[in-house]
Amino acid sequence: MTTALRQRMLQDLQLAGLSERTQEAYLRAVRQLADHFHTPPDRLSEQQVRDYFLHLKNDRKFVSASLGIAYSGIKFFYSHTTPRDWPTLQRLRVRRDKRLPDVLSVEEVRRLIEAVRTHHNRAFFWTVYSLGLRLGEGLHLQVGDIDSARMLVHVPCGKGAKDRYVPLPTSTLKVLREYWATHRHPVWLFPALGRDGQQTATADRPMERSSVQGALRRVVQELKFQKAISIHSLRHSYATHLLEAGVNLRLIQQYLGHSSLQTTMVYLHLTTVSQEQAVAKIEALMEP
């Protein structure tokens, strides 16, 4: 894809209000399409695009999530940047895998946090878990987002550009204060470390996504967890643990920033506590 064409698509993505991560994913999808045929994407035919989709599905065996990103990015390009009235684009459908995410138990979360050697990663993982944050939300937390008077954390413009407030546990406030005291950055709670780890106080950006993701992978491997665990698993675990503790599902929806209760209801399938309570109540109710 030429620089001019890429820039035009980037502008279209920005005008559509898509997040930076979505922009990157869509641009990558179109670049990979062009690389496959060694041809600029605005010169490809509908049949070539059709063949490419079949190649991803049948030859490369893309899972639903990856296939959906490729479909969406390429469809965006041919709908906005270089509009094409192609029936193939209208017929694209991805069957979603109905797989439940892996979650950690409370004990496993604590084992994981305790196994982290570096102060910044240990503080970050605990913060993401105890506040139910997405990776990007945790990285971009700022000093001004912490309201210690009301014991709330302001999570600005999360997914879907919706601000929200989440409860701030006393333990998390203590962790954040202790870690902030090591760098005293005026803006970021988790500033970039720099090559030698000494530039945190003057960093112009938060820690890198790849850095914390890699740190979590190493700890999971060391602990020999058999579950598929990522940073997002800490958020799933938070929601599941709240539900098991009896927190109302509507409140969990609010804390997670879900626009739909249907999205939050997946956590009903990740816990057996409510089922066990229901069985116990039914037994008591039906006693002769």
Known catalytic residues are: 134, 159, 232, 235, 258, 267
| 167-172: long-range contacts, CB 8 A cutoff, minimum separation 24 | 167/255, 168/131, 169/130, 171/126, 171/130, 172/126, 172/127, 172/130, 172/131
| CA 140/CA 193 separation, integer angstroms | 14
- What's the half-sphere exposure (Cβ side, CA atoms, 13 Å) at 192? 10
Strand 146-147's sheet: what is its strand order? 146-147, 152-155, 164-167
- Note whether 191 and 203 are within 8 A (CB): yes
Structure tokens at 91: 């017929």
Phi, psi of 255 (to 5 degrees): -65, -35
Structure tokens at 18: 């898509």
